[in-house]
Amino acid sequence: MAKLVNTGGALLKFFDSVRGLGDKLGPVLFQLPPKLSFDEGVAQEFFTTLREVHSGAVALEPRHPSWFSLSVDQLLAASRLPVSLPIHPRVRNW
């Protein structure tokens, strides 16, 4: 809903709600809507906020073709965020 903008409060609330899982908390998947195109400033702010709130395992599943580039890969790597590739047939053809 927030399209990665001003998500600090929501991230805090979510991770506080799952903190009780402790070591049982596995990777958290952030699945992005197909229409959400890459915006470097928005993505960088989200990744920074995410890493301030949670240092555990997370993965990102972008579905808009603009997320699949070398510069995005470098930003994700710097933020320690692996990418989960979508399997939807329309997205596979980028």
Tens-digit pLDDT profile for the chain (94 aa)?
Answer: 778 999 999 999 999 999 999 999 999 999 999 999 999 999 999 999 999 999 888 888 888 999 988 888 888 888 888 776 655 555 444 4
Give how far the C-alpha of residue 57 lies from the chain's centroid of Cα atoms, to the nearest Å. 11
- Assigned domain for 2 exists: no
- In terms of residue numbers, what domain contains 81? 27-92
Q: Which amino acid is at 93?
A: N
- Assigned domain for 3 exists: no
DSSP of the chain: --TTSS-HHHHHHHHHHHGGGGGG--PEEEEPPTT----HHHHHHHHHHHHHH--S-EEEE--SGGG-SHHHHHHHHHTT--B-----HHHHT-
- Assigned domain for 7 exists: no
Q: How many domains does the chain have?
A: 1
- Assigned domain for 84 exists: yes
Measured between alpha carbons, how far is 72 from 88 in angstroms, rounded to an integer?
20
Give the predicted TM-score (pTM) of the model.
0.81
pLDDT of residue 94: 46
